[in-house]
Amino acid sequence: MKILHLVHRSWPYHGGAERYVLEHALAGKRWGHESVICTTDAWDMSWLVSRSGLHIQRKMDIWNGIEIVRFPVLHPPVQNVFRAVLRRISKCGPDRYYYPNPFIPSLHRWLSIDRGFDFVHANAMPFMLYEGRRYSEKFGKGLVSVPHANVGEKYRRVKALHYFSGCQKRILRNSSFVAAQSQFEKGLYTEMGIPEERIHISGSGIDPSEFAGGSGERGLKRLGVKGPVILSLTAHSLDRGTAHIIEACRILLKKGRDFTLVLAGPVLQDVEDYIDSDKKLSEEFGDKLVLTGYVSREDRIDLLSAADIVLLPSRLDCFGIVVLEAWVSGKPIIGCWSGAMPDIISDGRNGFLVSWGDIATLTNRIEILLDNRALGLGMGENGRKNVLERWTWEKVTDRFYRRLSQCCPEASSP
C-alpha cells in the first residue's frame, strides 16, 4: 500500500504530533508499505498565521527513506477579516478557519489529483483532517483520522472549544477508523456518535535506545547550573501550566529550597507577557530560572538526564510524550488530570497528578520529591517498566497497523 500521512509540521522539527506521524511512516516500511508525509513549511507555529515565525525553505526531504513534501503557508492581507468571512460561508464550517489553521492552497490543489495513495492518515489539525477527508472521498480511499484533541480535563473541559465546531464531526463519523490518544478522548468521539468499534486507542511512544547516551553532567554543563534541577520540557504557554510552575517554584524559593527551574523549549507569547509583566520575578529567581528556547533532540536527552523532577501540569497535551521520556530517563513526573495522563500515570506510584491550576498541590508534590530522592527514583523506575511494556514506538505503531489491516486486507503483516 501507498499511504499518505498529513500533519501540520514534520522533520526536522521535533514535537509530539510530528514525531507520532514520522514514526508511523517509518513503521509502514516494516509492514511493507510506502509512505509520503505532506506538511507545511512551518517551523514555528506562529508561521501558520503570520510572518513572524521561522519556516523551512526546502520543498522536499528524504529522511530514512520517507519522502517529506512541504507546502508553503500563505499570509493573505486583512487575514482576520478573510477568516471571519470564510467561517460564515464555508460548507465545511468554521473550525477549518480558526487560528492556527493556515492557508495552504497549493496542498489543496495537489490533492485534487489522484496521487496513487491507497490510504490516508490525517493528523492533528482541522485543515489537515479536511484535506484527508476530501482526497479519501474523491478517490474512494480509506481514511484514519487522528485529531489529537486537546480539550482539557475530563470533568473540566476547555470552554473556548472551536475544534469540533464544523465538519470535523462528520469527517470522524465517515472515517475508516478514528485514533484516540486516551480513554477520555475516546469518550469525546462516542459522544459524537462514532461507534466504539471504530475508535482505536493509540497513544504515543518513544524509542528507549535514544536515551541510552544521555549525560546529566553534560546537561548541567550546557545549562551552566548545579542541581537539583526541576525541568519543564514543552512549548510553554499558560494552558500548559507554565505560570503555575513558576508560582509554585516561587513559593518554594521563599521557603529557602535550593534548586534551578529550567523551562526548556519555545516560550509562547502569553508566557512571555506573563514573565515581562511581573517585575519581581527576575529578582526573586535570579539565576535560579533558565529559559533555553528550542531544544534539539540531543540536548533534550541530556536535559532529561540532568533533571531531578520533570513537570507537565498541562491541560493542552492530549498525550504527553515527555512523560515517557522522563520515565525512560529514570525521572519522576508530575502531570495533570487531562488528556492521556490519567491513563498512564498511576498517582503516587510512577508520578503525581495535579489538577490544572492547583498551585498549592503542585507545590506540595514538588516539595515531596525534593525531600525524598528515593521516592522519585522509585517512581522513575516504575515508569520505565511501564514504557518498556507498552509505550515503545514499535508497540504503538504495530497496534496501529494491525488495526489498519482489519480495514484493508491488502495491508500485509511485517
DSSP string, 93-151: -GGGGSTT--B-HHHHHHTTS----SEEEEESSHHHHHHHHHHHHHHT-EEEEE-----
The cell 529578582 sits on which residue?
283
Given CA atoms 214, 215, 216, 220 in this order, what sign does their dihedral have? Answer: negative
Spatial contact of 208 and 388, defined as CB atoms under 8 Å apart: yes
Residues 6+ apart with CB under 8 A from 95: 101, 126, 162, 163, 164, 165, 166, 167, 168
Residue 177 DSSP symbol = E
Spatial contact of 341 and 313, defined as CB atoms under 8 Å apart: no
Phi, psi dihedrals of residue 31, rounded to the nearest 5°:
-90, 5
Same topology for domains 2-205+392-407 and 208-390, yes or no? yes
Spatial contact of 240 and 314, defined as CB atoms under 8 Å apart: yes
As a dihedral over the C-alpha atoms of residue 37, residue 38, residue 40, residue 43, rounded to 10 degrees, the angle is 0
Distance CA 258, CA 13 (A): 34
Sheet holding 199-201, edge to edge: 60-63, 66-71, 34-40, 2-6, 119-123, 142-146, 177-180, 199-201
Class of domain 2-205+392-407: alpha beta
Distance CA 402, CA 312 (A): 31
Q: What is the mean pLDDT of residues 339-360?
A: 95
pLDDT-wise least confident of 105-109, 296-300, 308-312, 397-401:
296-300
For the stretch 304-313, pLDDT in tens is 999 999 999 9
pLDDT-wise least confident of 159-173, 327-341, 386-400:
159-173
The answer to whether domain 208-390 has CATH 3.40.50.2000 is yes
Spatial contact of 210 and 297, defined as CB atoms under 8 Å apart: yes
Please report, rounded to a whole number, the percentage of residues in the chain having pLDDT higher than 90: 74
Phi, psi dihedrals of residue 192, rounded to the nearest 5°:
-85, 0
Q: Which pLDDT value is given to residue 151?
A: 76
The cell 499570509 sits on which residue?
75
301 CB-contact burial (10 Å; exposed 0-12 / middle 13-18 / buried 19+): buried
The pLDDT confidence band at residue 52, using thresholds 50, 70 and 90, is confident
Phi, psi dihedrals of residue 392, rounded to the nearest 5°:
-85, 155
Domain-wise residue ranges, the chain? 2-205+392-407, 208-390
For the stretch 221-277, pLDDT in tens is 989 998 799 999 999 999 999 999 999 999 999 999 999 999 999 999 899 999 999
The more confidently predicted of residues 303 and 89 is 303
Asked if the model's pLDDT at residue 158 lies above 80, the reply is no
The cell 517554584 sits on which residue?
249
- Per DSSP, helices labelled H in 31-99 are 79-89
For the stretch 98-140, pLDDT in tens is 878 899 999 999 999 999 999 999 998 989 999 999 999 999 9
Distance CA 170, CA 203 (A): 23
The pLDDT confidence band at residue 413, using thresholds 50, 70 and 90, is low
Peptide linkage before 12 cis (omega within 30 of 0): yes
Question: What's the grid cell of residue 239?
Answer: 494552558
Q: How far is CA 255 from the centre of its chain?
A: 34
Q: What is the mean pLDDT of residues 8-12?
A: 95
Q: What is the 3-state secondary structure (H, E, C) of 237-290?
A: CHHHCHHHHHHHHHHHHHCCCCCEEEEEECECHHHHHHHHHCHHHHHHHHHHEE
Asked if the model's pLDDT at residue 162 lies above 80, the reply is no
Report pTM.
Answer: 0.87
Asked if the model's pLDDT at residue 378 lies above 90, the reply is yes
Asked if the model's pLDDT at residue 410 lies above 70, the reply is no
